[in-house]
Amino acid sequence: MPLVSMRQVLDEAAKGGYGVGAFNVNNMEQIQSIMEAARETQSPVIVQASRGARAYSQDRFLYHLMIAATELYPEIPTVLHLDHGNSPETCKSAIDMGFTSVMMDGSLMPDGKTPSTFEYNVEVTKKVVEMAHAKGVTVEGEIGCLGGIEDGHGSGGSGLDHLTDPAQAEEFVKLTGLDALAIAIGTSHGAYKFAKQPSGDTLKMETLIAIHKRLPNTHLVMHGSSSVPKDLQDIINQYGGKLKPTWGVPVEEIQLGIKNGVRKINVDTDNRLAITGAIRKVFMEKPEEFDPRSYMKPAREAMKKVVALRMTQFGQAGHAKDYTPIPLAEMAKKYEAVAV
């Protein structure tokens, strides 16, 4: 089947009361890991590429690898999503290439660092909604800012610096007409989220619940949702790595979010840790090896294990065959009908 609309995948997740992991990719092996995990668990899946990933893969390599994924895994509803688009132009280039979903992250200025104003965020997000919906493409926006910085993207600081205001979130959705809303409830990008084990009140789940009460029909998105498991950290350190002790987002907190309107969960760091640990292990144990396949295969397998586990924990497992994909042209007509 062709790449599908993220809106449809999230609508179905809302009906079924489950969440869908959105996993970042930069290369063939990461795409293969996700697609194999999706087949094993029979999951619909969101594959996402950041601006950095698009630059790394010269854009077209990544796009064509995703087309290969749809050919090789025709039974899996697969979304190709732009992660943290920094401007309407970036979103347009993704839409023109064939992405079926884009994130316009107007919570930050185009530099990807400076928190923006509410008015700026509304203006750029609305512009992308108009452009994307005309082609049946889904739009994710963000209100409030995540902490941390990945590849230059993020407001820096802790995840608690720019939390989402529920009333502002409601206003934002009304003014932009977006499909999915990323909220800031204390998470941040990268491995160093929390310096100690998070307790029940580390993440602002009451804010999430308040947002869901105001916006029961908006799909909420949790960024910075890697759990940074200790066993993955240990493998890296055991084989010569130097990670400092760190904690991520407990899966139980994500599951509580899913009970309260979270439909898309962004995970990148956990997969990076799994890949790095597996490669380090081969390098230490078999220093004579120099065939990249000798370490890329175990790396691919390690990432697949993490992704399959998250697919089961988020509840998307078993839902790949629940529905027939709606073509983007039909999605565009649906958006048009609602707008009139």
Return the active site residues: 83
Rounded-to-integer distance, Cα 138 and Cα 24, Å: 17
Answer with the entry of Zn ion, ligand G3H, ligand 13P, none that 151 interacts with (C-beta below 5 to 8 A by kind). Answer: ligand G3H
| Binding pattern for the stretch 164-193 against ligand G3H, x by CB under 6 A and - elsewhere | -------------------------x----
Among 19, 85, 88, 190, binds ligand 13P (CB under 6 A): 190
Distance from the first to the final alpha carbon of the chain: 30
Amino acid at 39: R
Q: Check: CB of residue 81 under 8 Å from CB of residue 47.
A: yes
**DSSP annotation of 247:** B
Least CB distance to ligand 13P at residue 229 (A): 12
Q: Which residue has the tokens 């309260």?
A: 260
Q: Is 225 a binder of ligand 13P (CB under 6 A)?
A: yes
Cβ(299)–Cβ(32) under 8 Å? no
CA 235 vs CA 245, 283, 303: distances in Å? 13, 12, 13
User: Of the two residues 100 and 269, which places its CB atom closer to ligand G3H in the complex?
Assistant: 269
Of 84 and 219, nearer to ligand 13P (C-beta) is 84
The site partner of 267 among ligand G3H, ligand 13P, Zn ion, none (C-beta below 5 to 8 Å per kind) is ligand 13P
Q: Which does 153 bind (CB under 5 to 8 A by kind): ligand G3H, ligand 13P, Zn ion, none?
A: ligand G3H
Cβ contact 9:44 at 8 Å: yes
Kindly identify the residues of this chain, within the stretch 115-174, that bind ligand G3H according to CB under 6 A: 150-151, 153
Q: Contacts with ligand G3H: how many residues (CB under 6 A)?
A: 11
The verdict on 226 binding ligand 13P (CB under 6 A) reads yes
**Site mask for ligand 13P (CB under 6 A), range 62-91, x = bound:** ---------------------xx-------
Q: Give yes or no for residue 105 binding ligand G3H (CB under 6 A).
A: no
Tell me: does residue 269 bind ligand 13P (CB under 6 A). Answer: yes
Report whether 49 contacts 23 (CB < 8 A).
no
For residue 30, state whether it binds ligand 13P (rule: CB under 6 A). Answer: no
Q: What are the Cα distances from residue 222, in Å, to 72, 79, 213, 288, 297?
A: 29, 17, 16, 42, 30
**Which among 228, 323, 326 has a CA at the least distance from the CA of 273?**
228
